[in-house]
Chains A and B, each alone.
Chain A
Amino acid sequence: MLEIKNLHVSVEGSEILKGLDLTVDPGEIHAIMGPNGSGKSTLSHVIAGRDGYEITGGRIIFQGEALTGMEPEERAAKGIFLAFQYPVEIPGVANTTFLKEALNSIRRYRGEDELDAMQFVKMMRKKTEELNISDDMLKRAVNVGFSGGEKKRNEILQMAVLNPSLAILDETDSGLDIDALKIVAEGVNKLRSPDRSMLVITHYQRLLDYIIPDKVHVLAHGKIQRTGGKELALELEEKGYAEFDEAAA
């Protein structure tokens, strides 16, 4: 599904990722944990193709294809979805309009027929019921005036609609209280499937109580420092990231 080899990334001239290796197989959930400033968000942005990140070495292979040089919308069409840490507000654009535009753009790219208004509404009704999301949220402008929890649920709804093969959850737990966290995690778990991989990026272990990962990686100083099972997350919770600071020092 996703294969990252010796990835070096610079932002405004300073190197953030310094030879990162990562392989995610279909259906797997991987957690990336690490201290602040370790390059977690850089990793998610560089996979999604955001401007301003310069790949100075290494490769990102997604479903057998190198992503380098691809526009963000092309990557989205190929099945990469990034759930943002801070979902962006788009005033005046209704959530449904936005989702329909996104879904049909992806379908066009893939050479599939676009959904007409009726088909789309039907599909949306199904998705919102599955995820327990109220219609009201669809009518409002994208993320405008949404609470922290609503914004994250909106991200999960978008994921359900766009049906990606790789979902990256960037600090999805940030700014959520425990109830909101449970609801969001529940949504994510409903979307687990054998042909969908997920990359869960988080600073804290608590999200992993609800989304159980197959593998946990520790990212520090621009590299994966350690890889283990879900128990590694608990160990980190206890000991913190201090040992990795020393390792680098």
Chain B
Amino acid sequence: MAATTETLAQVQEMADDKYKYGFVTDIDSENAPKGLSEDIVRFISAKKNEPEWLLEWRLKAYRHWLTMPEPNWAKVGFPAIDYQDSYYYSAPKAVGDGPQSLDEIDPELLATYEKLGIPLKEQEMLAGVAVDAVFDSVSVATTFKSKLEEVGVIFCPLTEALEKCPDLVKKYLGTVVPYTDNKHATLNSAVFTEGSFVYIPPGVRCPMELSTYFRINAKNTGQFERTLIIADKESYVSYLEGCTAPMRDENQLHAAVVELIALDDAEIKYSTVQNWYPGDENGKGGIYNFVTKRGACRGRNSKISWTQVETGSAITWKYPSCILQGDNSVGEFYSIAITNNRQQADTGTKMIHLGRNTSSKIISKGISAGHADQTYRGLVKMSPKADGARNFTQCDSLLIGDQCGAHTVPYIESKNKSAIVEHEATTSTISEDQLFYLRQRGIPVEAAVALVVNGFCREVLQQLPMEFAVEAQKLVGISLEGSVG
């Protein structure tokens, strides 16, 4: 990551008018020394009082990582990452030992969350969403713990889960995304610092939406959170994830891993609104969002549904996937990706059909504007055993302006004659007729663009939980500002 740094004041100034979430919180951070080595891996593990097996696992990952080349197949371009020029552990000092309740949290930090639109205090009082907020590398608060405990749902930072239910963590961690999976996931396995852990016991329908907000605050910091969600038999959970980061001139790496496991008749719905700092108009700064998200439908009749709204990050490299092992299991992927200015996104999904009568649905809406480049990349694989499996894919791209790109790269592999795969893709633009019609009715041009784009994305927006849908709809408009006229 480049080390060009400008004064805080300048950064702040820019933050005020363009990227709403671009503020920097002035908090003392406790950093591990810069760079990556076995010692850093041991340092992180020790900081978190981890069991020996986990340290060993981290070290295996680190050693394997050293042997792996950078993945180069995605349609994105960026200078080589200098992994030694980054911090791999950054904790807000005051909360280093972990807060016991919201009252112990640095007020400055809470103010940050309010700016982000997550008033934790209020949320604890009002019935609604349980939030785990991750600030740089440390989880600062998990609201609604008590209420969830009543029904036996475990929702806590991963570190805490290692103390609370080590067997569950050991049983499932790394079973969906093994530490050898890909360069970024392997790095995460070696140095992951925080993330959420969710366990829904058999037969329990989680009484509220669970939510995590991630924020990268510290400078030159990579964020490597790891989320593990297990839905036991006949359970249900809906999980929301939001992300923001301050505006900084250097690029910051975010290499997260999310693993979902659904057992028999269980369902997991995972929604993301990703609004990491995208860099400025000239492509300076912004987050490298290199994320591995994968769910395993292990049980019969299980279901995993991914919904994502990707508007941020300088570069997005992300393929939330489903491994459909259990018979009759269902995988879904609903995606809106918006790239503007110099943003690059290579995103999509993989649906791996292994069980009988498994089905999957992919709805992807990509919008590219400015000088941005966007690629949908998806794999649908029908294995010889996936009798009666089905996939439907609809992949639409909208281009706004003549300097951007939109690409569609689906891979369809079928080894089963009774499996049916249907893929459709279209590329178009907002027509002059549509814009004139809306403007004739009095709607200003930017609002008209946002309206058409929201209409284009409707199928996906409908999948989001209410409170997220509103936020996402606004983001769609904001992300495209300045793209027309």
Give the chain B neighbours of A51 by CB distance below 8 A.
432, 436
- The reply to whether A73 and B437 form a contact with Cβ atoms under 8 Å apart is no
- The reply to whether A92 and B457 form a contact with Cβ atoms under 8 Å apart is yes
Q: A51-B432, A101-B451 are in contact. Are A92 and B443 (CB under 8 A)?
A: no
Question: With an 8 A cutoff between CB atoms, is B3 at the interface?
Answer: no
| Complex Cα spacing A73 to B449, Å | 13
- The reply to whether B454 and A158 form a contact with Cβ atoms under 8 Å apart is no
- The reply to whether A93 and B454 form a contact with Cβ atoms under 8 Å apart is yes
Chain B interface SS verdict (over half): helix
Give the chain A neighbours of B434 by CB distance below 8 A.
88-90
- Digitize A137-177: 1 where CB-to-B-CB distance is under 8 Å, 0 elsewhere: 00001000000000000000010001000000000000000
- The reply to whether B455 and A87 form a contact with Cβ atoms under 8 Å apart is no
Question: With an 8 A cutoff between CB atoms, is B118 at the interface?
Answer: no
From B442, B455, B456, give the contact of A73 (CB < 8 A).
B442
Give the chain A neighbours of B454 by CB distance below 8 A.
92-93
Question: With an 8 A cutoff between CB atoms, is A105 at the interface?
Answer: yes
Q: What's the interface size class on B, roughly?
A: 20 to 34
Question: With an 8 A cutoff between CB atoms, is B478 at the interface?
Answer: no
Give the chain A neighbours of B459 by CB distance below 8 A.
92
Give the chain B neighbours of A77 by CB distance below 8 A.
442
Q: A87-B437, A90-B437 are in contact. Are A73 and B443 (CB under 8 A)?
A: yes
| Complex Cα spacing A109 to B433, Å | 23
From A50, A89, A91, A102, give the contact of B441 (CB < 8 A).
A102
- The reply to whether A90 and B445 form a contact with Cβ atoms under 8 Å apart is no
Give the chain A neighbours of B282 by CB distance below 8 A.
none
- The reply to whether A88 and B443 form a contact with Cβ atoms under 8 Å apart is no
Number of A residues whose C-beta is below 8 Å from B?
32
Question: With an 8 A cutoff between CB atoms, is A84 at the interface?
Answer: yes
- The reply to whether B451 and A73 form a contact with Cβ atoms under 8 Å apart is no
Smallest Cβ distance from B453 to chain A, in angstroms? 9
Smallest Cβ distance from B442 to chain A, in angstroms? 4
Smallest Cβ distance from B452 to chain A, in angstroms? 6
Task: List which B429-474 residues lie within 8 A (CB) of chain A.
Answer: 431-434, 436-445, 447-448, 451-452, 454-459
- The reply to whether B438 and A90 form a contact with Cβ atoms under 8 Å apart is yes
Smallest Cβ distance from A44 to chain B, in angstroms? 10
| Complex Cα spacing A3 to B291, Å | 62
Considering the complex, give the chain A residue whose CB is closest to the CB of B458: A92
Give the chain B neighbours of A99 by CB distance below 8 A.
441
Smallest Cβ distance from B450 to chain A, in angstroms? 9
Smallest Cβ distance from B485 to chain A, in angstroms? 9
| Complex Cα spacing A81 to B437, Å | 10
Give the chain B neighbours of A105 by CB distance below 8 A.
442-444, 447
Smallest Cβ distance from B215 to chain A, in angstroms? 32
Smallest Cβ distance from A219 to chain B, in angstroms? 21
Give the chain A neighbours of B437 by CB distance below 8 A.
84, 87-88, 90
Give the chain B neighbours of A92 by CB distance below 8 A.
454-459
Give the chain B neighbours of A106 by CB distance below 8 A.
442
- The reply to whether A73 and B458 form a contact with Cβ atoms under 8 Å apart is no
- The reply to whether A91 and B455 form a contact with Cβ atoms under 8 Å apart is yes
- The reply to whether A93 and B455 form a contact with Cβ atoms under 8 Å apart is yes
B residues whose Cβ falls under 8 Å from a Cβ of A: 431-434, 436-445, 447-448, 451-452, 454-459
A residues whose Cβ falls under 8 Å from a Cβ of B: 48-51, 71-73, 75-77, 81-82, 84, 87-93, 97-99, 101-103, 105-106, 109, 141, 158, 162
Can you spell out 16 A-B residue pairs with CB atoms less than 8 angstroms apart? A48-B440, A50-B436, A71-B445, A72-B440, A73-B444, A76-B440, A76-B441, A89-B434, A90-B434, A90-B452, A91-B455, A92-B459, A99-B441, A102-B442, A103-B442, A106-B442
